[in-house]
Amino acid sequence: GRALLVLLLSGTVSLLGGLIFGYELGIISGALLQLQADFQLSCFEQEVLVSSVLIGALLASLAGGILIDRHGRRRAILVSNLVLLVGSLLLTLARSLTVLLMGRMTVGFAISVSSMACCIYVSEMVAAHQRGLLVSLYEAGITVGILLSYALNYVFADVDEGWRYMFGLAIAPTAMQFLSILFLPVNPVKLSSWDSDCRKGLIPLQDTEDRAAAKREPYQEKDYSFLDLFRTRDNMRRRTLVGLGLVLFQQFTGQPNVLGYASKIFHSVGFQSNSSAILASVGLGAIKVVATLVAMALADKAGRRVLLMAGCVVMAVSVTTIGLTSRMAPLAMARDCRAATGPNASHSLSQHPLTSVLPQAAVSPLPPASGAVKSQAGPAFAATRSLTEVFASTQSKEVVPNPSLTQKRDLAGQSKKGALESTGPPLGAAPWAQHTVLNWITLLSMMAFVSAFSIGFGPMTWLVLSEIYPAGIRGRAFAFCNSFNWAANLLISLSFLDLIDAIGFSWMFLLYGLMGVMAVLFIYLFVPETKGQSLEEIDQQFSRKR
């Protein structure tokens, strides 16, 4: 009975941690529309507000590892919950931009610490044959949290100071997670000896040599310094190579940028009305949720290596297909921050945070209502949305384009002006409008990419990272790899449009395809299979073998 309770509460902590993370990432997109009007924010101020979460998260990825290792995983999650409550209250009661910035930085710090501590704590708390399912639950929580935030953005779009409710509602899941973890034990529930774990059939050992070695050397937790990550002791350098390789390939396969073209592709295949655009973007989010559930079901059966390699192969094929089709049916590009003149442009998920967005006419699935444009958004609003994307994809999560939250505002603008005006050339004049078949191939490729990422790199990277390091340095090692993940994501997102200027859109995506092939080779050569093994067994195998 107690084991079942621990299992259910561990699952709850993992799911709620992910849900809070996804919610905080997605909610800024709708809140910023109202904050811009209420606080008269300039382009630069909006950029700073969105990027403040990233600053908090980077600080957490540098300092959080020490907190997790020194004070324990459970205490780190409890502290992150309290910090998140403080941040949410600051945002809910904010009367100035300074308080908003402090609130978002606090929230960024809290969700970054929580994301690391949750994965490690749950991986240590549950049996080997359930670990893949329960750690992957965190990823599923994120996808649900993002969709929930978009739904609430839409609900509060016309409410006076609705952003206060948007930020304040994060308090509910945070309080639930805090209460759930109070009932969980401080330390993982360990069985009497390592070998008894194997006898009970929880862990199928690899071979008789391992079984004999396990009996000869009872598992001892060791102390490690941070510099041990780069030494040959217990094969730590190899483990660091595996961890860094996974987080860097996760970014360099193009994950932060592929969805930047979601709205444009929807537009080109005919999703032009409000309702169909909403349906398309929600559909993309639903595909991600379903794919993550598939990954959860398969993590402990097929194994981590198989899912990572299969996901990488499909991602490489998908981005290569997008690259080839865009050579035959070119997509228009622009770098002008001022090109975006309305809230709709934010759904381009543009990649150049400070200076550039895609032209609205080519991107937005919703035709701009000039009344809504002038009254609701500053000229460079869309540029600020991109920093949300930088942050959102950092933990390996894509954000689905979210046209729904502006539907009400667009309708309001429509009634004021009476007619919709287009800011760019009509659809028929676009160079990609005549290539219907190619556009559908591109759309299907993008859906395949989202699915493959959500089955492979999305959940499996963090699952493997929570398994391959010894307990004594697991928090610091996880945080070290995590900081590279943030940095790589920021680099990819900032350099994307410069690279497109230099080598062209299609070559950029073909380059992502090449990186996908390299990622498959890396996983095949370096990443071990960890399914069905206890954390102690994984550690001993790493220590003994090349």
CA 455, 461, 467 angle in degrees (round to 5)?
120
351 found inside a domain? no
Q: Are residues 119 and 252 in the same domain?
A: no
**Torsion of Cα atoms, 392 then 393 then 396 then 397, to 10°:** 60
Looking up residue 235, the CATH number of its domain turns out to be: 1.20.1250.20
Could you tell me the sign of the dihedral formed by the alpha carbons of 276, 447, 494, 157, in that order? positive
**Torsion of Cα atoms, 470 then 472 then 477 then 480, to 10°:** 180
pLDDT at 364 exceeding the cut of 50: no
Q: Are residues 179 and 233 in the same domain?
A: no
Q: Name the domain boundary from 127, 149, 183.
A: 183
Amino acid 30: pLDDT: 78
Q: Is 235 left (phi over 0), alpha (psi -120 to 50) or beta?
A: left
Q: Name the domain boundary from 150, 183, 216.
A: 183
254 found inside a domain? yes
> In 3-state terms, what secondary structure has residue 441?
helix
263-266: which pairs have CB atoms within 8 A and are 24 or more residues apart? 263/347, 263/348, 263/349, 263/363, 263/364, 263/365, 263/401, 263/403, 264/331, 264/348, 264/358, 264/362, 264/363, 265/439, 265/442, 265/443, 265/446, 266/365, 266/401, 266/443
pLDDT in tens, 437-466: 887 888 889 889 989 999 999 899 989 998
CA 25, 31, 33 angle in degrees (round to 5)?
125
Average pLDDT (342-350) is: 35
Nearest to 18 by CA among 147, 166, 163, 162: 147
CA 138, 250, 246 angle in degrees (round to 5)?
85
280 found inside a domain? yes
Q: Name the domain boundary from 154, 183, 212.
A: 183
Q: How far apart are CA 420 and CA 415, in angstroms?
A: 10
CA 91, 59, 73 angle in degrees (round to 5)?
90
Q: Give the contacts of 469 (CB within 8 A, at least 6 positions apart).
A: 239, 243, 477, 478, 539
Q: Are residues 149 and 43 in the same domain?
A: yes
Q: How far apart are CA 523 and CA 482, in angstroms?
A: 18
Amino acid 414: pLDDT: 43
Q: Are residues 179 and 239 in the same domain?
A: no
pLDDT at 212 exceeding the cut of 60: no
Q: Are residues 241 and 144 in the same domain?
A: no
Range(s) of the domain holding residue 94: 1-183
Q: How large is the C-alpha radius of gyration of the chain?
A: 23
198 found inside a domain? no
Q: Higher confidence at residue 415 or residue 5? A: 5
Owner of token pair 């709850």:
12
142 found inside a domain? yes
Nearest to 473 by CA among 133, 237, 184: 237
pLDDT band at 309 (very low <50, low <70, confident <90, very high): very high
- Structural tokens at position 82: 């309290």
DSSP alpha helix (H) spans, 349-473: 360-363, 370-376, 381-392, 407-417, 436-455, 457-468
- Structural tokens at position 140: 């599923």
> In 3-state terms, what secondary structure has residue 335?
coil
297 found inside a domain? yes
Q: Are residues 310 and 456 in the same domain?
A: yes
Q: Give the contacts of 439 (CB within 8 A, at least 6 positions apart).
A: 265, 268, 269, 325, 329, 432
Q: Are residues 165 and 236 in the same domain?
A: no
Owner of token pair 């667009």:
410
pLDDT in tens, 29-87: 778 888 988 998 887 788 788 778 878 888 898 888 888 988 888 999 999 999 999 99
**Are the beta carbons of 59 and 173 closer than 8 angstroms?**
no
Q: Are residues 176 and 288 in the same domain?
A: no
Q: Are residues 121 and 30 in the same domain?
A: yes
Exposure string of 125-158, with b = 16+ CB inside 10 Å and e = fewer, is bbbbbbbbbbbbbbbbbbbbbbbbbbbbbbbbbe
54 found inside a domain? yes
**Are the beta carbons of 386 and 349 closer than 8 angstroms?**
yes
pLDDT band at 263 (very low <50, low <70, confident <90, very high): low
pTM (2 decimals)?
Answer: 0.71
Q: Are residues 448 and 532 in the same domain?
A: yes
The count of structural domains within the chain is 2
Least confident of 46-55, 91-100, 474-483: 46-55
307 found inside a domain? yes
Q: Are residues 65 and 9 in the same domain?
A: yes
Q: Are residues 157 and 241 in the same domain?
A: no
Q: How far apart are CA 197 and CA 520, in angstroms?
A: 33
